Structure 1
C-alpha cells in the first residue's frame, strides 16, 4: 500500500492519541532513558539521536503505508503516556514476522500499571481492525505484564523466535469486526 496520510487523532476516556511531531522529541527522549521503559525493550537507553530517528520513522510510516504509531497523552494534562501503534520494522526475527504489521507499545515509567496501555491499544486496534486483517507483536519472554496485555487484547502465542541472538515470543492476532470500543477518530 502506498499512500500519503498522517495519523488520525483518536480519543479515549483519558487519552488523546495523535501523530508524532517535532515537539514530542524531548518527552520521548526522556521516556527512552528511563530503565523502567527500556529494560524489556532492548535493555539499553536510547540516545536523543536514536529517538529522533524513531520519531521520523513514525511520521514516514504513515506516509508510506497509511498506518503507523501514535503519541499518547493524557487529555486533561497533556502529559506524555507513551508511543503505541503499528510499525513496519522489517526486523531480522527468526521466523520472519514481515507478513503483517507489528503492533508495539512503550509507556513512560510513570504510566505503567494504570490501564493506559489497554485503553490506548483498544482504540488503536479498533481503528486497525477496520483496515488490516492481522497483526503481530514480539515480546521479551520475561515481560509478563506485556504478555498478559497481549493475551487480553486477543493475541495468541505463535512461537518462540530469535531476535538479536535472544529468544523472543511471537504473538498473532486476527482483526475483530464486531463491537469496537467507543472512540472518536478525527482527520
Structure 2
C-alpha cells in the first residue's frame, strides 16, 4: 500500500517525513500540547525516536501518521494517525487505533475534526476491521468532545501505563454511508 496524501477543504495531510522534525520538536516541547498525552514536554531524543517509529510504521504497515498542514500557507498544525502500537492494555486494542494532536495555536477552529474525518474515511476505505478505536485521558474533555463528534462512543475505562484512560469505538462505515 502506498503512503497516501489526503486533502480536505483547508488541509493537506502527508505521511510524516524526516523534514517534519523541526515542527515535531516544537510541538512536542510544548507543555500545553503534551499535557494529556505524555504529561510532560518531550526531549529531542524522544521526539527523534517517535519520528523513527512513525516512519517505520508506514513502511511496515502501509499506514501511519500524517503531518497536518494548512493548504494555503503550509503552516504546520499537528498530526493525525492510524496507530498499531501493540499497546499492553486490557481490553486489547485489536482494531485500527486513531490518534491526533493539534498545536494549541490552531485548536478550536475545526481543523482536528476535518483531519480526523479524512483519516477515518481513508481507514474505512483501505483497512479491514469492524471498527476503529481511540484512547483518551478522561480529563481531556476537548478530545472526548471531538471523538464523539466524529462518531466514537465510549466502551471501556481502563489504565495504560498507570494512568486512567477511556477507550472509544466507532463502527466502520461502508462506502456511501453518511
Q: Provide TM-score, normalisation by structure 2.
A: 0.93
Structure 2 residues without counterparts, runs of 5 or longer:
none
Matched with 2:123 is 128
Superposed displacement of residue 38, structure 1: 0.3
Identify the range of structure 1 (46-55 vs 80-89) with the bigger mean alpha-carbon deviation.
46-55
Match of 2:89 among 93, 112, 116: 93
**Does 1:37 pair with 2:42?**
no
Matched with 1:70 is 66
What per-residue deviation string (whole Å, max 9, x for no partner) do you get for residues 122-175 of structure 1?
Answer: 111111111233211000000111001111111111110111111100011121
Describe the SS at the equivalent of 1:24.
helix
Cα distance in 1 for residues equivalent to 2:14 and 2:176 = 23
Match of 1:144 among 127, 137, 141: 141
Superposed displacement of residue 180, structure 1: 7.0
Describe the SS at the equivalent of 1:67.
coil
Matched residue count = 176
Matched with 2:24 is 28
Higher RCO (CA-CA < 8 Å; seq separation 6+): 1
What per-residue deviation string (whole Å, max 9, x for no partner) do you get for residues 65-115 of structure 1?
Answer: 121110000111111111101011112222221x11210001111111110
Cα distance in 2 for residues equivalent to 1:60 and 1:19 = 11
Structure 1 residues without counterparts, runs of 5 or longer:
182-187
- The answer (yes or no) to whether the contact 1:95–1:162 under 8 Å persists in 2 is no
RMSD: 1.5
Superposed displacement of residue 7, structure 1: 2.1
Match of 2:98 among 94, 103, 110: 103
Match of 2:75 among 75, 79, 83: 79
- The answer (yes or no) to whether the contact 2:125–2:175 under 8 Å persists in 1 is no
- The answer (yes or no) to whether the contact 1:129–1:175 under 8 Å persists in 2 is yes
Matched with 1:185 is none
Describe the SS at the equivalent of 1:130.
helix
